[in-house]
Structure 1
Amino acid sequence: MTSDHRIGPIALPDSRARRVLESLLEGSGITLNGDAPWDPQIYNPDFCNRLLRQGSLGLGESYMDGWWECEHLDELARRLVQHGLGGHARPPSDRLMYRLQAGLMNLQSKARAYMVGEAHYDLGNDLFERMLDPTMCYSCGYWKEADSLHEAQLAKLELACRKLELQPGMRVLDIGCGWGSFAQYATLHHGVSVTGITISREQAALARQRCSGLPVEIQLEDYRDIEGCFDRIVSIGMFEHVGHRNYRAYFETIARVLADDGLFLLHTIGSNNSNITVDPWIDRYIFPNGVLPSARQVADASEDLLLMEDWQNFGPDYDTTLMAWLMNFEHFWSELAERYSERTHRMFRYYLSVCAGAFRARDLQLWQVVFSRDRVYRYDAPR
């Protein structure tokens, strides 16, 4: 069911669901049908009931259905998170069911590894080409000295290359290579050869095209099947799909294929705690089976396999990156509207905005972690 926005927001019925919701929002600065740019404007009388029944899933789906609008979704999300309402993302029965499922099943097994590629990354290269910058980096940029999204993504790629101490002739493995952004950059600017792996057919096809003529090999492959020996390994924005049951196997794979004097750089979104949970709307519509690691989980999984040499957090930069993607997406939507539905339009607007808000609230982090075997590592490049 959708709603007609031409009639404007409705007067919400006086119901138990409305009173409970308003009580939860008390002190957050958020008012239903309020005047602030982050206040949701409600167009369907069942909004409050749906939100209390379904939590985050109901909030996101009702936005996709046109049940409510908000001028600044990112600020709404920030206030919800900082007010501590993240714990209401799932109704209690759903939280219990997910914990049981995650405890009994490997939700990120090899058999399920390609699900996120099919659901999200294969959605359409034309969409991502318009949303992202020319590097086609689909991960956090580094904004310390950048004035644009493109500068921030180039700075991120160079930061990773310098931390890895790349030298001409080195053989590099890129786990989760996306559309070939790191492979293209590292070969052109540092003279290395790169083997990139991805679980997305659309990414693999475009990455091969973008890296044509360069010493780059792109493979459609799961990380658990990697063979060979590499001087350097990089993984940018892929670890979020590995899952807690597979963290140890992931680092065992790194240790197995990394040269004795090699370095490994892990670039990942991180969680502030080790709870095994996911946002149900993100899980259903954006990144199926994704889960964010905690610092403790990264440390435990790599213990006795690799030495942790350096850990940098630039999580606030993801807020800026996501808002830049949102600006691109909205600017070029007219070129995409014939192929993609308005529901997809609202899905991406909601996804980019609420994620930006979560990073702004410091509920999510962005880590770059450098590992070695047993070499002396003295990274001193400026950050």
Structure 2
Amino acid sequence: MPDAAQRLTTLAEQLLGAELPLRLRAWDGSEYGPPNTPTLVIRHRRALRRILFRPGELGLARAWVAGEIDVEGDLYEALGAIAGLVWERDDLPGPSLRDAHTRAAVRELVRLAGPFPPPPPPREEVRRRSGALHTKIRDRRAISHHYDVGNDFYELVLGPSMVYSCAYWTDGGTLEDAQRDKLELVCRKLDLTPGQRLLDVGCGWGSMAIHAAREHGVRVVGITLSREQATYARKRIADEGLTDQIEIRVQDYRDVRDGPHDAISSIGMAEHVGSARYLEYARDLHALLKPGGRLLNHQIARRPLADESAYSIDEFIDAYVFPDGELSPVGSTVTQLETAGFEVRDVESIREHYALTLCRWVANLEANWPQAVRLSSPGRARVWRLYMAASALAFRRNRIGVNQVLAVRTPASGTSGLPLRARTWKG
């Protein structure tokens, strides 16, 4: 097929009802589309079969992970262009199969795609799950899928800080500076002082626990469901000489029974909790705090939907990145925390900071691409590149946000323990 690129462009524009904003290169070597734009490369006709079988995000993701499509040029510009055709599809009129021209275009696209059915999903995709969401066993498997990719892989992406959440940037700072500043901001909001007891829920590779113990003199219990994270964190803690101050457990937050704690940090963990369990999560943390204790809940948020009875689950993220992960609006989070008994005292949005953080992670991955592929797989490395770049774009475009919510288990006396001008974050 000597002109597959032009034929595909024409068919895509007819079906989408909009001009294709990218140049296209097909498997036959042909190219078509506007110059000086990123090029969408379709390496094999299998990609079309995947997209026809699962139109939208998941079909595109399967073709990307399988290496059947790629982007040459600026990945963020390409994703921004595609976003208007996929993730922001509500803004465009959809084609109707009642229209004869649409049916003809679909038939032509099927001929170009080759024989059906489509190939099986790439092996990196989470297989079909059954049973209730967010049971302890299912959550443990979901966490293992994402975090047990390999500590060496995460070292390449995250850098020396080994912090896998939004950094807190100043002009000209490095990623390590920004992650240190984020950890220090959390400690200041919690007003940590020597001798206090901190529970770090979703402790990751131990960075928050180490910073709090070393810089603020607290004793820390860190919990994670990832055995690889726990092993790595314990070694770091031993190397820092902090084993007398920090305990790392492989434990579900629902199984922690040794409160009360003076403070709780939950950084980038609550996205895994889910709508059915969120009030339970909030009540459990409230019960684990002493009266007057503070919770810092650092969590990604989505924009509200028309139907607020539903949490948002992204197809690509659910299938390849965070199985069973759910995002809620920040207002819902605040409501649930207050329903559980907390007094919410401060909400800080740091959305732009996460876009900057993700771009640095993408740059780290791209700079170490051969090693990242060796440590994981070509498909897994491609998953992480797409997920982080697309997430950076989503934060930039205000499709999702991230917030630090400071809440207090205010005692019956009404004394919160916060200074009158709390935003100085000094005790």
3-state DSSP of counterpart to 1:211? helix
The question of 1:221 aligning with 2:215 is answered: no
Residues 1:155 and 1:53: Cα distance change in structure 2 (over 3 Å): same
- Residue of structure 2 equivalent to 1:360: 396
CA distance in 1, matches of 2:150, 2:269: 19
Q: CA deviation at 1:19?
A: 4.1
The question of 1:190 aligning with 2:216 is answered: yes
Residues 1:15 and 1:140: Cα distance change in structure 2 (over 3 Å): closer
Partners of 1:78 and 1:360 within 8 A in 2 = no
- Residue of structure 1 equivalent to 2:111: none
The question of 1:11 aligning with 2:13 is answered: no
Deviation track 1:170-200 (CA, whole Å, cap 9, x = no partner) reads 1000000000010001111111111000010
- Residue of structure 1 equivalent to 2:349: 313
- Residue of structure 2 equivalent to 1:62: 63
Q: CA RMSD in A?
A: 2.8
Counterpart amino acid of residue 85 in structure 1: W
Residues 1:260 and 1:132: Cα distance change in structure 2 (over 3 Å): same
Deviation track 1:310-356 (CA, whole Å, cap 9, x = no partner) reads 00001111111111111111222333443432222222221211111
1:34-49 → structure 2 map (5 Å cutoff): 34=33, 35-45=35-45, 47-48=47-48
3-state DSSP of counterpart to 1:338? helix
- Residue of structure 2 equivalent to 1:238: 269
1:25-40 → structure 2 map (5 Å cutoff): 25-26=18-19, 29-30=21-22, 32-33=24-25, 34=33, 35-40=35-40
CA distance in 2, matches of 1:290, 1:121: 13
CA distance in 2, matches of 1:326, 1:178: 20
CA distance in 1, matches of 2:37, 2:177: 30
- Residue of structure 2 equivalent to 1:166: 192
CA distance in 2, matches of 1:18, 1:81: 15
1:150-165 → structure 2 map (5 Å cutoff): 150-165=176-191
Q: CA deviation at 1:382?
A: 7.0
CA distance in 2, matches of 1:79, 1:303: 40
3-state DSSP of counterpart to 1:195? strand
Matched length:
362
1:213-292 → structure 2 map (5 Å cutoff): 213-214=241-242, 215-227=245-257, 228-273=259-304, 274=308, 275-292=310-327
TM-score when scaled to structure 1? 0.86
Deviation track 1:244-275 (CA, whole Å, cap 9, x = no partner) reads 00110000001111010100000011111244
Residues 1:186 and 1:299: Cα distance change in structure 2 (over 3 Å): same
Deviation track 1:269-320 (CA, whole Å, cap 9, x = no partner) reads 1111244231212111111111112123212211241000000001111111
- Residue of structure 2 equivalent to 1:296: 331
3-state DSSP of counterpart to 1:85? coil
Partners of 1:141 and 1:155 within 8 A in 2 = yes
2:204 pairs, out of 164, 178, 197, with 178
CA distance in 2, matches of 1:179, 1:9: 51
3-state DSSP of counterpart to 1:380? helix
CA distance in 2, matches of 1:9, 1:348: 33
Partners of 2:197 and 2:261 within 8 A in 1 = yes
3-state DSSP of counterpart to 1:358? helix
Partners of 2:191 and 2:425 within 8 A in 1 = no
Partners of 1:108 and 1:246 within 8 A in 2 = yes
CA distance in 1, matches of 2:135, 2:5: 48
- Residue of structure 2 equivalent to 1:381: 424
Counterpart amino acid of residue 361 in structure 1: R
Residues 1:327 and 1:255: Cα distance change in structure 2 (over 3 Å): same
Q: CA deviation at 1:44?
A: 3.0
3-state DSSP of counterpart to 2:277? helix
1:62-81 → structure 2 map (5 Å cutoff): 62-70=63-71, 71-81=73-83
- Residue of structure 2 equivalent to 1:51: 51
1:122-133 → structure 2 map (5 Å cutoff): 122-133=148-159
- Residue of structure 1 equivalent to 2:109: none
User: Higher mean Cα deviation, 201-210 or 36-45?
Assistant: 36-45
Q: CA deviation at 1:32?
A: 4.3
Residues 1:324 and 1:307: Cα distance change in structure 2 (over 3 Å): same
CA distance in 2, matches of 1:118, 1:303: 31
Q: CA deviation at 1:39?
A: 4.5
Determine which structure has greater relative contact order: mean sequence separation of CA pairs < 8 Å that are 6+ residues apart, divided by chain length. Answer: 1
CA distance in 2, matches of 1:15, 1:328: 33
Q: CA deviation at 1:49?
A: 5.1
3-state DSSP of counterpart to 1:262? strand
TM-score when scaled to structure 2? 0.78
Radius of gyration: which is bigger?
A: 2
CA distance in 2, matches of 1:86, 1:310: 31
Residues 1:84 and 1:126: Cα distance change in structure 2 (over 3 Å): closer
Q: CA deviation at 1:225?
A: 0.8
